[in-house]
Amino acid sequence: EKNVGILAIEVYTPCTYISQEDLEEHSGVSKGKFTIGLGQEGLGFCGDAEDVNSLALTVVHSLLEKYQIDPTEVGRLEVGTETLVDKSKSTKTVLMDLFPGNSEIEGATVINACYGGTAALLNAFAWVESEGWDGRFAIVVAADIAAYARGSARPTSGCGAVACLIGRDAPLVFDPREKATYAANVWDFFKPDHSVEYPTVDGKLSQDCYYQALEAVYTRFCDKLCKNNPGMDFNASSHEYVVMHAPYNKLVSKSFGRLFFLDARKQKKEGKGEDNPAIDTEWLTKPLTETYTDKALEKVLKTLSKDSFDQRLGDANMASKMVGNTYTASVFFGLASLVDRVGGRGELTAGKSIAVFSYGSGAIASMYRLSVREVAKSSRFSIPKMVEALKLMDRLQSRDKVHPSELDLALETRARMHRAGAPYSPVYPTVGRMFPGTYYLNGIDSKWRRSYSRV
Ligand code: ACO
């Protein structure tokens, strides 16, 4: 048994954040719009002294340090991001500064909205599984600055990075037969305007595309699980935990509710068991797309799935509620939040399984599962070691809460940098406002080259 999977995980989000409650007041919207309407508590952000390269440098350096990984032990390094700075020069190449004496590292940067990190992860799993594996670790990095123009999407901004160490004999094991993918050509969210950092987004369409992708991968995933585990049936309650890409918490809870709906429709179609009396027969046969905005159905599904949601997704969602959307990193934040909280209670025990749903606009989505596995006491990597190294909730709680006008200011500095060209020196204050070990942008020189320092 190779037991390919995740050996270790490290997270970074900036030291400053704003509360969504404060943002409601600051934006002049009705009370509850962001906290209840979107289900969000906080929003992490950065100014022009951090960029996607600095976020990735911070999180990878920290992973190497915390787990005492020698740079020569790494044979593959792949980054997922949609926050591009130098376009053709990938963030992966900037990270090579952290690997002195080792220039033989495969992998590049993968791009597709929030999905790039998952593409990188699946590549890393495949490499470690393959005949071509050279025995070294792979590192997968997902890093993004989610910044939206002023308006309804801005409260769904966020910022963060996650690095995962991949190898064999892992405490979180991936089975390559148990994954499903959906890809389609849709225009829900993309970045065609190179004069701004912000995306061109159709919020409502992106919600529908998210649902559509979820339905496709969930159905395929359940079919694959059944094929791989004869005699067993799979539904929304089959996995102890579920992690979903989290643009905002409300979308995740509604989406999880829809899995109960898909289960009921499948049951009806196969003529197995009693229909759920709470779900009208009419709903069970209607085209799915006609059910997306049905408020009555939404209410029923919310009631049906509430307890299961709290139990299965509550812990995973906590970090993204506090940080916001981190695009490619979001689904990994979910995983880290789960490990930190459930693992911290000693409940992430062998045999439990985690279903993961990743969605990237445009669109590509995958669902796969990670199983918790007992490792030898002497193992370098284990769930308790991840918990010890992460301290995620403690770190999130130790951030500085600042006034929402800081978000406007920070994003203005970023917008100015975007337009300014070279040379450029960041103006957003860094001193005393960064966690130790954070990388920041020194500046962009007259030849457009970026350089970084570490706090
Ligand atoms: N108290 C409680 N709830 C409220 C209040 C209030 N005072 N005011 C509004 N709400 C509720 C609404 O009823 C609505 O609830 P519902 O979704 O259950 O119907 C919710 O808050 C959102 O309000 P809307 O007016 O419907 O939407 P809004 O114009 O605020 O935009 C959106 C929300 C579309 C999510 C926007 O923030 C956006 O475009 N974000 C970026 C796109 C995105 O994140 N897409 C997700 C998938 S793709 C990706 O990951 C990028």
pLDDT, tens digit, 9 for 90 and up, residues 51-99: 999 999 999 999 999 999 999 999 999 999 999 999 999 999 999 999 9
pLDDT, tens digit, 9 for 90 and up, residues 33-56: 999 999 999 999 999 999 999 999
Residue of the CA atom closest to atom 28 of ligand 1: 152
Nearest to 136 by CA among 106, 167, 107: 167
Q: Is the CB of 206 under 6 A from ligand 1?
A: yes
Active site members: 82, 114, 245
Residue of the CA atom closest to atom 20 of ligand 1: 37
pLDDT, residue 278, reads: 87
Sheet holding 400-401, edge to edge: 42-44, 16-19, 400-401
Q: Is the CB of 378 under 6 A from ligand 1?
A: no
Q: Is the CB of 35 under 6 A from ligand 1?
A: no
- 25, 33, 43, 298, best to mutate for ligand 1 pocket (most atoms within 8 Å of CB): 33
CATH of the domain at 404: 3.40.47.10
Residues 306, 311, 314: CA angle, nearest 5 degrees: 85
Q: Which of 77-81, 237-241, 374-378, 426-430 has the lowest mean pLDDT?
A: 426-430
Residue of the CA atom closest to atom 16 of ligand 1: 37
Q: Is the CB of 88 under 6 A from ligand 1?
A: no
Which positions make up the binding site for CoA?
206, 250, 254
- 206, 209, 293, 331, best to mutate for ligand 1 pocket (most atoms within 8 Å of CB): 206
pLDDT, tens digit, 9 for 90 and up, residues 110-141: 999 999 999 999 999 999 999 999 999 999 99
Q: What does the alpha-carbon distance between residue 33 and residue 24 come to, in Å, rounded to a whole number?
A: 7
Q: Is the CB of 278 under 6 A from ligand 1?
A: no
- 25, 38, 321, best to mutate for ligand 1 pocket (most atoms within 8 Å of CB): 38
pLDDT, tens digit, 9 for 90 and up, residues 313-355: 999 999 999 999 999 999 999 999 999 999 999 999 999 999 9
Q: Is the CB of 32 under 6 A from ligand 1?
A: yes
The neighbouring-strand residues paired with 201 are 189
Q: What does the alpha-carbon distance between residue 214 and residue 140 come to, in Å, rounded to a whole number?
A: 23
Residue of the CA atom closest to atom 48 of ligand 1: 206
Which atom of ligand 1 sits closest to the CA of residue 202? 39
The neighbouring-strand residues paired with 173 are 5, 371
Domain that holds residue 219: 5-454
Contact 15, 400 (CB under 8 A): yes
Domains held by the chain: number: 1
Its pTM surpasses 0.95: yes
pLDDT, residue 276, reads: 81
Which atom of ligand 1 sits closest to the CA of residue 330? 50
